[in-house]
Amino acid sequence: MKIRATQDNVIIRFIPEASETKGGLFLPQNRKRDKRGVRQAEVIAVGPGYYRDSGHGRFIPTTVKVGEIVLVDELAGQDYSLDINVPRQNKHADWADASGDFRIVREEEIHAVIETVE
């Protein structure tokens, strides 16, 4: 099985937050965390784009690319779970070692792309 996004949908995987803090207030792991804010995510799959005006307007291509790190609201999009480690067909995929928890968001829900300075 292979994942392919459609229209301007983007499939992302949240990057785990660092659990280690340096100084400050210690909050135990079992504390109920408020799920609001922006998190970093890796782009797993990207759709080609969409047509404006319900398919009758011009084509708007998607600008984010696979492998980029983006900033997304934690509550944006829809969760999607898939056990991608079981099928043998996915061994060649770049994201085959990933956990099966993904998020499907529209490109307009992505706030920013993090670029590395060389």
Range of the domain at 46: 9-14+38-114
* CATH value at residue 67: 2.30.33.40
Q: Is the pTM of this model over 0.85?
A: no
Contact at 8 Å (CB) between 103 and 4? no
Structural domains of the chain, count:
1
If phi over 0 gives left and psi between -120 and 50 gives alpha, with beta otherwise, what is residue 107?
Answer: alpha
Q: Residue 33: inside a domain, yes or no?
A: no
Which positions ≥6 away from 98 have C-beta within 8 Å? Answer: 13, 44, 84
Tens digit of pLDDT at every position of the chain (118 positions): 567 788 889 999 988 876 665 666 665 665 555 557 888 999 999 999 988 887 788 998 999 999 999 999 888 888 877 665 555 454 544 544 454 678 899 999 999 999 887 7
Q: Residue 85: inside a domain, yes or no?
A: yes
